[in-house]
Structure 1
Amino acid sequence: MATQFSLAHLAVLDCPPVAMIHIAQRTGYDFVSLRLTAVTPTEPVYALQNDPAQRREVKALLNDSTVQVLDVELARMPPELEPETYAAVLDTAAELGARHVLTQLPDLDRERATERFARLCDMARPLGLTIDLESPTWTATPDLHAAAQVLWAVDRPNAGIVVDTLHFDRSHDSVDMLRALPRGWFHYAQVCDAPAQIPETTEGLIFAARSERFPPGEGDIDIRRILAALPAIPYSLEIPNDTLSAQLGPEGWARRCIESARRYLKR
């Protein structure tokens, strides 16, 4: 089966959902990954859950498009947020036909974070959604081992782990461990490349993750080795690069990302 690709919103974050879906269709993506909540106070917010008119427009466009919604993001649960905060996000994800919801647990209280993750899974299950945990190096679940501990603890059938090749590389995660985990935990992966040198500060790690990623084959991560340890799943191309995307424009950048990914995976 041919590899399926999703255009991650972070790669073209200045594009509202309608423009992003048009770009994804013109450049050959199968899916989009929509960002419905903001992580930083300065980034654009496309809160379709709070905008019925825009939500209807997006839904109508999807119905006429070959592009579907792979996942929505981000259900991020720091200490001050309960899972119920994201009830409307889950409902919107289901309404738009999404399959998965990306989640982070920046909470040092692992017991509380795990209990909240389990509750979010229970909220999402009747909607046909999986809850997929990613493990950026600067969060309280900073690697694959920590994410796996959460999934073993919650034991929910719709719980998953999102492997992001950047975070996997910079957390020094183990491919052997990845191969040993249950195949049903992995519903999609986030794919990008990056230089070999790892930033030494949290600020540097975050900046590189949001602004300096590269298409597969244009950096130093052994992406093939990571992906070979996963089942056949869609790849969300989460490749924000401030300099290159400004030079090429959002559509040109989206096209370069998918063309580079296809070339890399064919080698």
Structure 2
Amino acid sequence: MTGEQPAAAAAAAAAPVTPATSAVDGGLVLCNVSVASLSFRDVVTAASAAGFDAISILGRSLRRARTREGLSDSDIRAMLDDNGLAVTEIEAVGDWLMPPPVDQPAFMNQVLTEAEYLQAGRSLGAKTLVATHFGDPVELDQAAEKFAGLCDRAADHGLNVALEAVAWATIGDIGTAWEIARRADRPNAGVLVDAWHHNRGPGAGNAEMLRRVPGDRVFAVQLSDAAATPVGPPLEDVRHRLLPGEGSLDLTGLVGILDDAGVRAPIGVEVLSAEILAQGPAGAGRILMDALRATLDRARSAVTESSGTESSAPGR
């Protein structure tokens, strides 16, 4: 791995680490997808200027930071520490069940191997490794066995593993993702809840499907919004995600279900918008943070008004 000394790499691989509770539980996350075209330094500027608690890191952004920006993992970790930022998720490993298809769109290609994701997650102090699956149809018991193996290897690096249901993927709904994690039966096995994929995928916003996931097994949440009618098929529509609160998705209902389940996972904002990025790193960060906070405030206010009690959700 670029920028790593042999002795440091050996030490990082030495003893197993038990996944621990993170200081950013309940915190607010700038998802790397929202700022993926920016340099890593600008990502840090966007997050710190807006007051985010943490960022997520994409494999392709990490590789670019190492190769084009000349940053070692130690440099990245120091930059985050200096700005009071943690890393929640590193994403997304796709070769845990079978080799990913070679004909998938370029932006979905896995740029790091599983071993590289695990090492990077540990060296950057990430809490969760995100996993997805694209390829042949999934047999649940086989997928669960493979996912259990991934979770065991991740535990040795101090990582939880969140299986993300992607709208056009083989594992496309939160019900299937949770069933695989449940059958894997590992303490660090869970799911990532992405509002856009949950509403645009096979589950089509199925609330009961979401309610079946135990709150302590939701390791990450990503919010964005969308128009009532999809703009073409999912692979096209995903590029038209909106800021939370600017579309027609029931984000208040989704946040309410997660709060009722006792979810304490970090919550991020994941939107693709050249117009937002045109405001510069600090300006973009503030736009994304304002939309995320406003959405969470509306959701918690709605619950408070309907119950007549103060919301007890953490971190907001």
Q: TM-score range by the shorter chain?
A: 0.7 to 0.9
Count of aligned positions: 256
CA contact (8 A) 2:45 2:282 kept: no
Deviation at 1:109, TM superposition (A): 4.2
Match of 1:41 in 2: none
Match 2:225 to one of 186, 193, 197: 193
Match of 1:232 in 2: 264
**For 1:52-201, what aligned pairs fall within 5 Å after superposition?**
53-77=71-95, 79-80=98-99, 85-111=113-139, 112-171=142-201, 172-201=204-233
Deviation at 1:65, TM superposition (A): 2.0
Matches of 1:12 and 1:227, distance apart in 2? 23
Deviation at 1:195, TM superposition (A): 0.7
Is 2:275 the partner of 1:252?
A: no
Deviations 1:109-130 (A, max 9, x none): 4245443322211110122101
Equivalent residue of 2:282, what SS?
helix
Matches of 2:67 and 2:163, distance apart in 1? 21
Matches of 2:69 and 2:48, distance apart in 1? 23
List alignment gaps of at least 5 residues for structure 1: 39-43
Matches of 2:143 and 2:290, distance apart in 1? 38
Match of 2:49 in 1: 26
Deviation at 1:86, TM superposition (A): 1.2
Matches of 2:175 and 2:146, distance apart in 1? 19
Distance 1:59 1:246, change over 3 A: closer
Opposite residue 288 of structure 2, the aligned amino acid is: C
Opposite residue 206 of structure 2, the aligned amino acid is: S
Deviation at 1:198, TM superposition (A): 2.1
Equivalent residue of 2:83, what SS?
coil
Distance 1:92 1:80, change over 3 A: same
Between structure 1 and structure 2, the one with the greater Rg is 2
Distance 1:264 1:2, change over 3 A: farther
Match of 1:207 in 2: 236
Distance 1:2 1:57, change over 3 A: closer
Opposite residue 215 of structure 1, the aligned amino acid is: L
CA contact (8 A) 1:124 1:131 kept: yes
Matches of 2:45 and 2:185, distance apart in 1? 38
Query: Aligned Cα RMSD in Å?
Result: 2.7
Matches of 1:47 and 1:115, distance apart in 2? 34
Matches of 2:184 and 2:25, distance apart in 1? 33
CA contact (8 A) 1:132 1:160 kept: yes
Deviation at 1:234, TM superposition (A): 1.3
Deviation at 1:262, TM superposition (A): 1.2
Opposite residue 63 of structure 1, the aligned amino acid is: D
Matches of 1:189 and 1:86, distance apart in 2? 22
Deviation at 1:14, TM superposition (A): 1.2
Equivalent residue of 1:187, what SS?
strand
Opposite residue 266 of structure 1, the aligned amino acid is: D
Could you state the TM-score of these two structures normalised by the residue count of structure 2? 0.73
Match of 2:5 in 1: none
Matches of 1:24 and 1:75, distance apart in 2? 24
Distance 1:64 1:18, change over 3 A: same
CA contact (8 A) 2:57 2:89 kept: yes
Deviations 1:155-201 (A, max 9, x none): 11111111100011112132123223222210120111111112452
Equivalent residue of 1:188, what SS?
strand
Deviation at 1:136, TM superposition (A): 1.2
**For 1:38-57, what aligned pairs fall within 5 Å after superposition?**
45-46=63-64, 48=66, 53-57=71-75
Matches of 1:180 and 1:128, distance apart in 2? 26
CA contact (8 A) 2:45 2:281 kept: no
Match of 2:40 in 1: 17
Matches of 1:156 and 1:121, distance apart in 2? 7
Match of 2:307 in 1: none
Could you state the TM-score of these two structures normalised by the residue count of structure 1? 0.86
**Structure 1 ranges of 4+ moved more than 4 A:** 47-53
Equivalent residue of 1:229, what SS?
helix
